[in-house]
């Protein structure tokens, strides 16, 4: 008769020990998951804000450069203000690049180059126009201004950002 109680007592202790162990592990995992959610949501919110600011600053800068490119000084836009905005964008882009995947970083660098090229050519064109010089790079200028106006690179960046956000949220198309 004593032999029957030993396995029952051992099984009971095993069940109790497993229940205690399970509750400790579950509590520990729940705390870690909650911490991860808090940390991840903060980082993700910051990432969304950076993406929003990136799109907004590119759009504003593009509008200024295109208006200046089409109108020169008669556009009412100060070229030094545009230069300052480009430098601000470059600094922002460098600081925010830790949140960018490789494709977005490449797109932002391409867009920055396009913006800067069109601005430089617009500035040169305006300078030549004021001083009655011939502007030899007019075809290059017009082609780059047209590319910037069409917004292909900007649209590609928007699509890449949307894809990246969907990937972060595990949204499947």
How does pLDDT run across 149-166, given as a tens digit for each residue?
787 888 888 888 888 877
- According to the model, what pLDDT value does residue 35 have? 75
In contact, 79 and 68? CB cutoff 8 Å? yes
The Cα 15–Cα 18 span in angstroms is 5
The Cα 37–Cα 122 span in angstroms is 48
How does pLDDT run across 128-144, given as a tens digit for each residue?
776 666 667 777 777 87
In contact, 65 and 118? CB cutoff 8 Å? yes
Please compute the mean of the pLDDT values over residues 86-100 and round it to a whole number: 91
| Structure-model confidence comparison of residues 98 and 166, the more confident one | 98
The Cα 54–Cα 42 span in angstroms is 18
- According to the model, what pLDDT value does residue 33 have? 81
Collapsed DSSP state (helix, strand, coil) of residue 76 = coil
- Name the pTM for this structure: 0.68
Residues in CB range of 70: below 8 A, 6 or more apart: 145
72, with CB counted inside 10 A (0-12, 13-18, 19+), is middle
């Amino acid at each position: 008769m004593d032999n029957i109680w030993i396995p029952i007592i051992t099984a009971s202790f095993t069940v109790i020990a497993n229940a205690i162990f399970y509750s400790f592990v579950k509590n520990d995992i729940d705390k870690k998951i909650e911490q991860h959610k808090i940390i991840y949501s903060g980082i993700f919110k910051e990432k969304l804000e950076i993406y929003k600011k990136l799109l907004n600053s590119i759009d504003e800068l593009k509008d200024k450069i295109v208006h200046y490119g089409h109108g020169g000084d008669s556009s009412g836009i100060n070229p030094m203000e545009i230069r300052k905005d480009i430098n601000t964008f470059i600094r922002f882009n460098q600081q925010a690049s830790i949140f960018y995947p490789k494709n977005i970083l490449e797109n932002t660098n391409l867009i920055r180059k396009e913006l800067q090229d069109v601005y430089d050519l617009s500035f040169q064109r305006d300078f030549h126009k004021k001083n009655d010089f011939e502007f030899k790079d007019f075809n290059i200028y017009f082609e780059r201004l047209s590319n910037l106006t069409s917004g292909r690179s900007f649209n590609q960046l928007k699509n890449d950002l949307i894809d990246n956000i969907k990937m972060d949220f595990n949204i499947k198309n």
